[in-house]
Structure 1
């Protein structure tokens, strides 16, 4: 099935995990497809809600897999959270993976807010309870993301959304989401390129946090049947992708076959 004839992207926002790669292995055809996009001259940004790995290491990892990606093209949830913290002059308690500390920094001695990432196996009751007590004092709550799960090489794994929701439930404080699905996360990336939402396209594997969030932000979206895609996502009655592709290479081939933008 061809791409919709009215689709004329001037820029692409591309999810990473599940779209370009799974674990440390590229999705079949994705390296070559990205090279084709580079050849077409479309401005690109790469979006990720990954909060366990600093940007420096993430770029190195992607390059090791064969992807030509520059650090300034990477738009991450931790960086978006940092921008919020800086704008509001906050001194947070950080609930983050130890590997992210080099990018984010340590928690404040007398925190006035809570900023939460995916701590993975390092999350424990003491961390959650310290955050809970601050929230009960009325301190603001920023979550880098609220993903339900993510795809690893051995299968789906629980993501941080369950713990964000748990703190919200217990404290009554609603988290402000810095990464996807917040519209500002997408719009900030597009503003850097000077492209309007309607003139861009998001490519993602998550029906809700990639596709649904992009559509809600006014951006056409392509759902790929890789990564965390589950059977039936492409027939969801509530979220209708602009296009469904088998994988990233298929999405790129169909986009590049479109007439040039007027």
Structure 2
């Protein structure tokens, strides 16, 4: 029996600036059934504040601490290890790292989806910091995301791989599919992994990642970045494939 649910944001709750039809009602249905819900995203172009605003404007009800982002996980990691960071991120995300960025001998490099700010000079500056011995933290390592025009665009994963290759330093991924990212949300809910379910549109990071992290169920929805056949290319395979979040919630509650 499912006792708690983790939900991806982009592609599951909304696509671009439009909510997925029925998604807000589906979240409310989970809560009405007495299930705790937490929201996990690998989006790293917008600060946490903006994501919360966006969700609420679309009709989703949530508390601030119900949203888990890779930037928050990174700041906790930096704090835990007493580190400041060289940031290769989108400028809009900078507010989430207030107090952790430094230009003087940073102990870590943090890479997120910088978009058009992934210039050679920016990548080379990160490479040089890694070559000097800094730790390497990737907010995510996704291959692609569903862009505002509905087509797939390159995500941060290719840039993380380039820096790994050049520096010889393996990045520690802090967002999905990192086991700790899922478990932090589950611990906060007080739900054991085997009693939890994840719903996402990314067969690799959301679904297979959740199942590898020990979650009992993971549902792939056919919205957002989903493309025909995605469910056949991952191991472990999704527990279920649903048309959208509404259908996923109906399956989970059944």
Q: Counterparts in 2 of 1:160-179, with a 5 A limit?
A: 160-179=156-175
Among 193, 199, 208, the alignment partner of 1:203 is 199
- In structure 1, the gaps of 5 or more residues are 1-7
Q: CA deviation at 1:247?
A: 0.7
Q: CA deviation at 1:122?
A: 1.7
**Pairwise CA RMSD of aligned residues?**
1.2
Map of 1:189 onto structure 2:
185
User: TM-score if structure 2 supplies the norm length?
Assistant: 0.95
Q: Distance in 2 between matches of 1:9 and 1:180?
A: 21
Moved more, 110-119 or 167-176: 110-119
Among 21, 24, 37, the alignment partner of 2:30 is 37
Q: Counterparts in 2 of 1:1-262, with a 5 A limit?
A: 8-105=1-98, 107-110=101-104, 111-154=106-149, 155-219=151-215, 220-236=217-233, 238-256=235-253, 258=254
User: TM-score if structure 1 supplies the norm length?
Assistant: 0.92
In 2, are the aligned partners of 1:207 and 1:239 still within 8 Å (CA)? no
Q: Distance in 2 between matches of 1:66 and 1:168?
A: 40
Q: How many residues align?
A: 250
Q: CA deviation at 1:237?
A: 6.3
Q: Deviations over 1:73-118 (max 9, x none)?
A: 1011111111111100111101111111112126313112211111
Q: Distance in 1 between matches of 2:148 and 2:59?
A: 18
- In structure 2, the gaps of 5 or more residues are none
Q: Distance in 2 between matches of 1:25 and 1:231?
A: 22
Moved more, 22-31 or 163-172: 22-31
In 1, are the aligned partners of 2:160 and 2:171 still within 8 Å (CA)? yes
